Amino acid sequence: MDKSVNLVVGAGFSGAVIARLLADNGEKVLVIDKKNHIAGNSYDYRDENGIMIHKYGSHIFHTSNEKVWTFLKRFTDFNQYMHKVVAIIDGIPTTIPFNFNTLYDVFPKTLAKRLEEKLLEKFEYNKKVPILEFQKQDDEDLKFLAQYVYEKVFLHYTTKQWGVSPKDVDGAVTARVPVYLSKDDRYFQDKYQGIPLQGYTRVVENILSHNNIEVKLNTEFKKDMLNQYKRVFYTGPIDEFFEYKLGTLPYRSVNFKLETYDREYYQQNSVVNYPCNYDFTRIHEYKYYLNDKSDKTVIAKEYSEFFELGKNERYYPIPNPQNSELYAKYLKEAENLSNVYFLGRLGDYKYYDMDKAILRAIELYEEIK
């Protein structure tokens, strides 16, 4: 048998990037995906109204990594979109992450000013403070503020999203949305950000478009493929690869309920968070991302739920000590295999953003080339 071909399992960003780097280096690659589309959870499509829908929820590209940016720019141009998130706190639309503008939106001016002054005495301007650290305050006013932010921004949202309170999820999760001692209303401060002009599916298609790459959709990975290829790059769930023999790695899933409205816009912003009310965590309004023109609009209400095999999709690994321990055991098993590499959110069981998944694929390639 000709073992000159590499197998990549999964046609999301991780799989596509590693496949492309190998192909650029003259290697042959077969990419398989069990779904009927490429791009994994970044998959998007234009609906009948001409609106680009992010099937698996809003994806906003952002990075400060030059390597990642240089790589992606080969395959797409980006618009100048800078993501902002509005949250409704006790009926008041304001900015998330909680910052100085939020302070003035939700409190009377004199109180906001006092809190602002105390914050500036204690912290450097522009500092980002994770909520669990922000709660460690001695001053009574700042204690009040920390408790307010904890309750109004994090407690209910995190309980909806993760099924447990912010104290029981890994601190790195809530630290993604810190208290931001700034007037910068953007969700990300990365040097590069934007939405690919023709959508994410097209970017992945462009990455995979190479004479040395063949893509087969609706194709499951089977164990006997291991002996048929030069190397295997597996971006699926690592526990599934090992047939769950050491236990199951849990995930959160998300259910998006789409609604179409006969009006130009539904809400004031692409994403509106509901950290105090309702069972859904946030509402996405997709036409904002590429400024799509239509007299209709499509929104998605996002409901979080546990991942159950066969019922829904894996979205978020759940970082905690118990799951890390189980993942580490699978990793040990993986070390016994030669020429099999795990990567991606599911392969590494890590809450990667798109840029981090791309960087991981680039770094893995550099390691093995």
Structure-block tokens of residue 157? 């949202």
Task: Kindly tell me which residue out of 71, 157, 241, 286 binds ligand UDP, with binding defined by CB under 6 A.
Answer: 157
Residues 6+ apart with CB under 8 A from 43: 37, 54, 55, 56, 200, 201
Task: Kindly tell me which residue out of 38, 39, 87, 318 binds ligand UDP, with binding defined by CB under 6 A.
Answer: 87
Residues 6+ apart with CB under 8 A from 200: 39, 42, 43, 44, 54, 59
| Residue 252 φ then ψ, to 5° | -95, 145
Give the C-alpha separation, 72 to 191, whole Å.
14
Task: Kindly tell me which residue out of 6, 94, 161, 235 binds ligand UDP, with binding defined by CB under 6 A.
Answer: 161
Task: Kindly tell me which residue out of 13, 75, 154, 349 binds ligand UDP, with binding defined by CB under 6 A.
Answer: 154
Task: Kindly tell me which residue out of 174, 201, 270, 297 binds ligand UDP, with binding defined by CB under 6 A.
Answer: 174
Cα–Cα distances in angstroms (integers) from residue 366 to residues 18, 89, 362, in the given order: 10, 46, 6
Position with the least CB separation from ligand UDP: 157
Structure-block tokens of residue 53? 């829908």
Min. distance of Cβ 210 from ligand UDP in angstroms? 30
Asked if residues 252 and 315 have their Cβ atoms less than 8 Å apart, the reply is yes
Cα–Cα distances in angstroms (integers) from residue 25 to residues 215, 269, 338, 361, in the given order: 18, 43, 21, 15
Give the C-alpha separation, 71 to 93, whole Å.
37
Q: Which is nearer to ligand UDP, 19 or 44 (CB)?
A: 44
Min. distance of Cβ 216 from ligand UDP in angstroms? 30
Is residue 41 near ligand UDP by the rule CB under 6 A?
A: no
Q: Which is nearer to ligand UDP, 7 or 96 (CB)?
A: 96
Given the rule CB under 6 A, which of 20-28, 65-73, 150-158, 335-343 is the region that contacts ligand UDP? 150-158
Given the rule CB under 6 A, which of 40-48, 169-177, 204-212, 330-338 is the region that contacts ligand UDP? 169-177
Q: Which is nearer to ligand UDP, 162 or 289 (CB)?
A: 162
Site residue total, ligand UDP (CB under 6 A): 14
Residues that bind ligand UDP (CB under 6 A): 87, 96, 153-154, 157-158, 161-162, 173-174, 176-177, 273, 275
